Amino acid sequence: DAKTTQPPSMDCAEGRAANLPCNHSTISGNEYVYWYRQIHSQGPQYIIHGLKNNETNEMASLIITEDRKSSTLILPHATLRDTAVYYCIVWEKGGKLIFGQGTELSVKP
Amino acid sequence: DAGVTQSPTHLIKTRGQQVTLRCSPKSGHDTVSWYQQALGQGPQFIFQYYEEEERQRGNFPDRFSGHQFPNYSSELNVNALLLGDSALYLCASSSGGLRQETQYFGPGTRLLVL
């Protein structure tokens, strides 16, 4: 079973920041948090990952709480092309990714 | 730099047939993982290949088998196809086998079993 829980859906206005939450209360000390997104019927796209520090790249920012039990993916200026299903995944030893249901983000004009 | 490629993009088979799907990993990657994604669901891990051996396996029957070649490309074979095998099959590549490394996905092969 997936180690993460996410809201099933969220809306965001175009141009505003999209903040996608994820709970991973049973995460272990050396397990990374990964975020992927999947645009309809395409392969999942890697976005960002982190262990305990906040991370930022050209796509997004990842904020991980100090106790590591939750995290938030931030898309700073959402566009219509960011409409997708976003998956938060705890990387488990051995390398298999266990996907949950994800959050369906709808960016609206 | 070519990303992960998969072939074919779409495939239609009938029940009882066998199918082979192919994956070429991203340049520099030596590990290939396969996932099945049914409609409306998240991807489910099938198995992972590293150094031409199956290293990990998910909860899938023996009808699902695979192979990895010396150039790191991989095949997924499914025998005795069932209607329930209709899905998007995804290949992901990474480096270093079981090490914590980012997996990059291909576009997938859409399989329809009639």
Q: Do B103 and A87 touch (CB under 8 A)?
A: no
For β-strands B5-7 and B19-24, DSSP reports them as antiparallel
**Partners of B77 in the beta sheet?**
B20, B65
Residue A77 has pLDDT above 90, yes or no: yes
Q: Express each pLDDT in B75-86 by its tens digit.
A: 999 999 999 999
Chain CA centroid to CA A51, Å = 13
Helix (H, G, I), strand (E, B) or coil at B54: strand
Q: Express each pLDDT in B4-24 by its tens digit.
A: 999 999 999 999 999 999 999
Q: Express each pLDDT in A19-36 by its tens digit.
A: 999 999 988 888 899 999
Q: Which residue has the higher pLDDT, B101 or B104?
A: B104
Return the pLDDT at B1. 64
Indicate the residue of B33, B42, B106 with minimum beta-carbon distance to A96: B33
Residue B66 has pLDDT above 80, yes or no: yes
Mutate: best of B55, B105, B111, partner A, most A CBs <10 A:
B105
CA-based angle B67:A39:A35, to the nearest 5? Answer: 75
Residue B111 has pLDDT above 90, yes or no: yes
Q: Express each pLDDT in A79-101 by its tens digit.
A: 999 999 999 999 877 778 889 89
Contact A51, A63 (CB under 8 A): no
Q: What is the DSSP string of A52-100?
A: SS-EE-SS-EEEE-TTSSEEEEEETT--GGG-EEEEEEE--TTS-----
